[in-house]
């Protein structure tokens, strides 16, 4: 039964207009205040961020400390052991990279575990949905495929990809995808990743008290670790999920809280690993469970996604999506959610209390992630339906016993999602000559100014969705094609930019391309591990030719304007290491004008990588990104708009030479 909701009197008043531009979330925040329910928005409003922590000017790596340095006078003192501000910041940054990389690579390992069990015939509930991709991927990383059975190729693929984690010495398989000159830079600097387990282990060792105490050397290992995520664990997660569950193709889908249905049993899946959600899709389609729902008086079972679990499922199956990270508590305030199943990453502990207030059943499912106060039903891939059926059954019971009034914001937006890099290839080049050539041509002729990846979380320290939306609007207005993942994708989808008609918001060049191809100016490519799709797309642009020899030459930039997680730092750093100028918003965990700051924001670019940037304001962020894109256009000699010409490889080579 629902716990009695008591009004809290001590909450500092939250200015809802300043908290979010998501109307559904705002409506639910008003209801929360009426109901006396607290959310992360309220807690962020009353909890002042620790200024020393925000600057990363403290260290608690040993019990001689914790040591606090002064961000206003960074070289005025050192830690008890003598560690300088640069060592302390670089170590803290490195540990964020290591944790973020661990999260993505462990997610990828889970997908690989499922794949192995499917291939060995031990898991029957999942199958290989995309054997064409399996074969193409195997071939790409050097596995013989001619005349062989899919099962045999799959076994070899498993063994090969396992090296992404366990390889002690030598390069991991996906290094074969990296443009030659980019790989050369990494080899020169000694940062080509070995297996992620080794890189993360070494990173943790080197940041122990009294080990690596030179910020440049620490950053070198941060780079290697981040690359073992982006071109390793995350890429495995994306590719194996596509092979098992299908490679996304464009699909029309709804987003926002209006996806909930008052007269149906509403089940939300939130987290990251797609296997839980895929099994839930089977459960909600089971005639026995549908009958149980109708017997309980419901019109049916309504399955909805949130956060990155939702981003995976909207891309692959067009499953409706109720909202991003900062809406996961507020969606429960509707009273319409009968069960929420969660797995790993970005799951607020605060969900327990909100769920309790509205009688929503909250279930943890992953052995890695229990939450005190939530019921745990372990998800086991050998018998996945046991867990997901049980969640649906309990959701039906909750539906039957609903007592509190339900209030669902009548807001939802339709858009097109599911632009895998394979589909972008096909969309631009056609079935028989799928290629990124038309994209490169349109960049060379100036219709498209460049490409931006806008990704990452939402964060209650900034107005939810606002920075994402304003930044992307500004970029497309200036003819920059935007690729998106994760919570950022949902921000823009809610704002209506995933409709092809949103092309009218783009500059004339980008608009023309969008209208010709029939695509929106903003392409959603999936969840946060699917940032690997952006890496693959960028690598493909280099390989097609005409835009330089390495990823650092591309007129491209990245941003995570409302980031909050350590995974975002790992993502940011693997983009920087791959050659991309990457701008973060909210706050940056470094004291400005230190040597470490200079190293990340300038030094890395000087030796062939990309570089970090920071801006809070979306227009300033867009300005920085566009200035960088223009700088790269100039270096390529394509800074003047050209008439569209058909180019062959030798034209492209001439262009490079010019
Ligand atoms: Fe302080 Fe050094 Fe220990 Fe860190 S490692 S807590 S700086 S003494
Ligand atoms: S869920 S990491 S809040 S994108 Fe991937 Fe969203 Fe950021 Fe989590």
pLDDT of res. 540: 93
Q: How far apart are CA 134 and CA 162, in angstroms?
A: 15
H helix count then E strand count, the chain: 27, 15
pTM equals: 0.94
> Is the CB of residue 490 below 6 angstroms from any atom belonging to ligand 2?
no
Q: How far is CA 23 from the centre of its chain?
A: 23
pLDDT score, position 653: 58
Residue 644 has pLDDT above 80, yes or no: no
Question: How are beta strands 413-417 and 251-255 bridged, if at all?
Answer: antiparallel
Residue of the CA atom closest to atom 7 of ligand 1: 79
Per-residue DSSP letter, 327: G
According to the model, what pLDDT value does residue 421 have?
A: 85
Q: Look over the chain and give the mean of its residue pLDDT values, rounded to a whole number.
A: 94
d(CA 37, CA 392): 26
Whether 371 is in the pocket of ligand 1, judged by its Cβ within 6 Å, is no
| Ligand closest to the CA atom of residue 328 | 2
pLDDT at 517: 84
Atom from ligand 1 closest to the CA of residue 62:
3
For the CA of 237, the nearest ligand: 2
Ligand 2 pocket: which of 307, 342, 461, 568 to mutate (most atoms within 8 A of CB): 307
Helix (H) or strand (E) holding 306: strand 301-306
Give Cα 59 distance to the centre of its chain: 28
Spacing, Cα 180 to ligand 2 middle (Å): 31
Q: Look up the CATH architecture of domain 251-400.
A: 3-Layer(aba) Sandwich (3.40)
- Residues 6 or more apart from 13 whose CB is under 8 A from it? none
Q: Which secondary-structure segment (H or E) carries 582?
A: strand 581-584
Computed on alpha carbons and rounded to an integer, the radius of gyration of the chain in Å comes to 24
Task: Give residue 648's pLDDT band: very low, low, confident or very high (50, 70, 90).
Answer: low
Looking at all shown ligands, the one closest to residue 564's CA atom is 2
Name the residue among 41, 16, 114 with its Cα closest to residue 326. 41
Task: Compute the distance from residue 536 Cα to the ligand 2 centre, in Å.
Answer: 20
Q: Return the pLDDT at 2.
A: 45
> How far apart are the CA of 10 and the centre of ligand 2, in A?
30
How do residues 559-608 score in pLDDT, each as one tens digit? 999 999 999 999 999 999 999 999 999 999 999 999 999 999 999 999 99
> In angstroms, what is the span from residue 234 Cα to ligand 2's centroid?
14
Judging by DSSP bridges, how do beta strands 58-59 and 67-68 pair with one another?
A: antiparallel
Give 427's pLDDT tier (boundaries 50, 70, 90).
confident
**The predicted structure's pLDDT at residue 435:** 79
The pLDDT of residue 658: 44
C-alpha 100 – ligand 2 centre gap (Å): 11
What is the DSSP code string of 502-527?
GGGGS-HHHHHHHHHHT--SEEE--S
pLDDT of residue 612: 98
Cα 401 to ligand 2 centre (Å): 33
- CATH of 418-636, picked from 3.30.360.10, 3.40.50.2030, 2.60.40.10, 3.40.50.280, is 3.40.50.2030
For the range 640-643, what are the long-range contacts, defined as Cβ-Cβ under 8 Å and sequence gap of 24 or more?
A: 640/446, 641/445, 641/446, 641/509, 642/444, 642/445, 642/446, 643/445
Going by alpha carbons, the residue nearest to atom 3 of ligand 2 is: 457
Number of CB atoms found within 10 A of residue 157's CB: 25
Tokens of 297: 């008086």
Q: Residue 78: CB within 6 Å of ligand 1?
A: no
- Please say if the pLDDT value at position 423 is more than 90: no
pLDDT digit string (tens) for 234-277? 999 999 999 999 999 999 999 999 999 999 999 999 999 999 99
- What does the block give as tokens for 137? 């991927």
Domain spans, the chain: 85-245, 251-400, 418-636
Q: Which atom of ligand 1 is nearest to the CA of 87?
A: 7
371-409 pLDDT, tens digit each: 999 999 999 999 999 999 999 999 999 999 999 999 999
Residue 206 C-alpha to ligand 1 middle, in angstroms? 14
Alpha carbon of 382 to ligand 2 centroid (Å): 27
pLDDT of amino acid 642:
53
Q: Which ligand is nearest to the CA of 87?
A: 1
Range 498-502 average pLDDT: 92
Q: Which residue do the tokens 């921000």 mark? A: 491
pLDDT at 194 > cutoff 90: yes
pLDDT surpasses 90 at 8? no
Q: How many residues does the chain have?
A: 658
Question: Does the pLDDT of residue 4 top 60, yes or no?
Answer: no
Report the atom number in ligand 2 closest to the C-alpha of 568.
2
Percent of the chain predicted with pLDDT > 90: 91
Residue 113 has pLDDT above 90, yes or no: yes
- Atom index in ligand 2 nearest the CA of residue 564 equals 7
pLDDT of residue 1: 38
Nearest ligand to the CA atom of 347: 2
Class of the CATH-defined domain 85-245: mainly alpha
The answer to whether 251-400 and 418-636 have equal CATH topology is yes
Cα(619) to centroid of ligand 2, in Å?
23
**Quick one: what percent of the chain has pLDDT higher than 70?**
95
CA of 68 to the centre of ligand 1 (A): 9
- Check pocket membership of 567 for ligand 2, CB cut-off 6 A: yes
| CB of residue 91 inside a 6 A radius of ligand 1 | no
Q: Tell me the per-residue pLDDT of 60-103, one tens digit each, with 9 for 90 and over.
A: 999 999 999 999 999 999 999 999 999 999 999 999 999 999 99
In contact, 142 and 129? CB cutoff 8 Å: no
């Amino acid at each position: 039964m629902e716990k009695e909701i008591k009004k809290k009197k001590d909450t500092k008043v939250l200015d809802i207009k300043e908290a979010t531009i998501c109307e559904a979330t705002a409506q639910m925040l008003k209801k929360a205040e009426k109901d006396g329910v607290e959310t992360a928005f309220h807690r962020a409003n009353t909890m002042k961020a620790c200024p020393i922590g925000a600057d990363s000017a403290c260290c608690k790596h040993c019990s001689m400390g914790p040591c606090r340095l002064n961000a206003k006078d960074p070289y005025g003192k050192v830690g008890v052991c003598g560690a300088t501000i640069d060592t302390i910041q670089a170590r803290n940054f490195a540990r964020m990279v290591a944790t973020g990389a661990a999260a993505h690579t462990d997610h990828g390992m889970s997908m690989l575990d499922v794949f192995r069990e499917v291939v060995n015939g031990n898991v029957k509930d999942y199958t290989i949905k995309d054997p064409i991709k399996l074969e193409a991927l195997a071939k790409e990383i050097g596995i013989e495929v001619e005349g062989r059975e899919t099962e045999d190729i799959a076994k070899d693929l498993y063994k090969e990809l396992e090296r992404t984690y366990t390889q002690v010495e030598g390069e991991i398989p996906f290094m074969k995808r990296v443009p030659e000159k980019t790989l050369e830079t990494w080899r020169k600097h000694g940062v080509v990743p070995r297996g992620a387990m080794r890189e993360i282990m070494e990173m943790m060792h080197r940041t122990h008290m009294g080990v690596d105490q030179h910020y440049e050397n620490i950053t070198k290992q941060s780079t290697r670790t981040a690359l073992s995520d982006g071109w390793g664990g995350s890429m495995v997660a994306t590719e194996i999920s596509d092979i098992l569950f299908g490679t996304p193709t464009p699909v029309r889908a709804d987003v926002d809280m209006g996806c909930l249905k008052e007269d149906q049993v509403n089940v939300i899946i939130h987290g990251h690993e797609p296997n839980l959600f895929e099994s839930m899709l089977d459960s909600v389609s089971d005639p026995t469970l549908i009958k149980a729902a109708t017997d309980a008086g419901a019109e049916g079972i309504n399955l909805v996604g949130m956060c990155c679990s939702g981003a995976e499922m909207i891309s692959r199956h067009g499953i409706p999506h109720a909202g991003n990270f900062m809406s996961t508590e507020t969606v429960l305030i509707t009273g319409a959610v009968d069960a929420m199943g969660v797995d790993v990453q970005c799951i607020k502990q605060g969900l327990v209390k909100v769920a309790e207030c509205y009688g929503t059943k909250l279930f943890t499912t992953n052995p890695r992630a229990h939450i005190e106060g939530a019921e745990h039903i372990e998800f086991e891939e050998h018998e996945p339906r046991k867990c997901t059926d049980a969640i649906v059954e309990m959701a039906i019971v909750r539906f039957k016993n609903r007592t509190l009034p339900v209030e669902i914001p009548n807001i939802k937006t339709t858009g097109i999602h599911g632009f895998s890099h394979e589909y972008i290839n096909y969309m631009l080049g056609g079935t028989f000559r799928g290629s990124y050539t038309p994209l490169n041509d349109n960049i060379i002729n100036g219709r498209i100014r460049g490409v931006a990846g806008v990704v990452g979380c939402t964060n209650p320290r900034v107005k939810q969705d606002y920075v994402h939306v304003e930044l992307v609007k500004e970029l497309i207005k200036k003819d920059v094609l935007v690729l998106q993942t994760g919570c950022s994708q949902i921000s823009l989808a809610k704002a209506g930019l995933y409709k092809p008609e949103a092309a009218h918001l783009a500059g004339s060049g980008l608009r023309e391309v969008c209208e010709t191809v029939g695509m929106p100016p903003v392409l959603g490519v999936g969840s946060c591990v699917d940032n690997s799709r952006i890496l693959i797309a960028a690598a493909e642009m280099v390989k097609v030719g005409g835009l330089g020899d390495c990823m650092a030459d591309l007129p491209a930039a990245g941003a995570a304007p409302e980031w909050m997680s350590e995974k975002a730092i790992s993502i940011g750093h693997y983009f920087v290491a791959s050659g991309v100028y990457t701008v973060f918003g909210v706050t940056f965990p470094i004291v400005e004008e230190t040597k470490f700051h200079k190293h990340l924001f300038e030094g890395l670019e000087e030796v062939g990588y990309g570089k970090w940037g920071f801006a809070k304001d979306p227009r300033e962020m867009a300005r920085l990104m566009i200035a960088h894109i223009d700088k790269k256009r100039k270096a390529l000699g394509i800074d003047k708009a050209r008439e569209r010409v058909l180019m062959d490889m030798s034209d492209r080579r001439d262009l490079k030479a010019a």
